[in-house]
Structure 1
Amino acid sequence: MLEVKNAFFCDAAIADSSGKVSVLGIFTNINAKQFPAKHPNMTLVAIIEGHRIEAGLHQIKIDIVDSDGHNIVKPIEGTFEIAPNRTTANFILSLQQTTFTKPGTYSADIAVDKRHLRSVTLNVVQV
Structure 2
Amino acid sequence: MIVDIFTLCDSAKEYQGKLVIVGTFNTISAIQFPATHPELAIVARIVMGNQEKGKHTLKISIKKENEDAYLVNPFNMDIDNSNLQTEVGNLNLIFNVNNLLIPSAGKYVVTLEIGELVKESTLYVVTVKQ
Q: What is the TM-score when the length of structure 1 is the normalising length?
A: 0.88
* Aligned counterpart, 2:2: 3
* Aligned counterpart, 1:12: 11
Q: 1:101 to 1:116 in 2, by over 3 A?
A: farther
* Aligned counterpart, 2:84: 84
Could you tell me which amino acid in structure 2 is paired with residue 64 of structure 1?
A: I
Q: Which has the higher strand share?
A: 2
Runs of 4+ in 1 over 2 A off after TM superposition: 80-83
Q: What is the TM-score when the length of structure 2 is the normalising length?
A: 0.87
Q: Secondary structure at the match of 2:125?
A: strand
Unaligned runs of 5+ in 1: none
Separation in structure 1 between the aligned mates of residue 80 and residue 20 of structure 2, nearest angstrom:
20
Could you tell me which amino acid in structure 1 is paired with residue 75 of structure 2?
A: I
**What is the aligned length?**
124
RMSD over equivalenced CA pairs, Å: 1.5
Q: 1:34 to 1:42 in 2, by over 3 A?
A: same
Higher CA-based Rg: 2
Shift of 1:60: 0.3
Separation in structure 2 between the aligned mates of residue 70 and residue 110 of structure 1, nearest angstrom:
17
Shift of 1:116: 4.3
* Residues 111-126 of structure 1: pairs in structure 2 closer than 5 A: 111-113=113-115, 115-126=116-127
Unaligned runs of 5+ in 2: none
Could you tell me which amino acid in structure 2 is paired with residue 96 of structure 1?
A: N
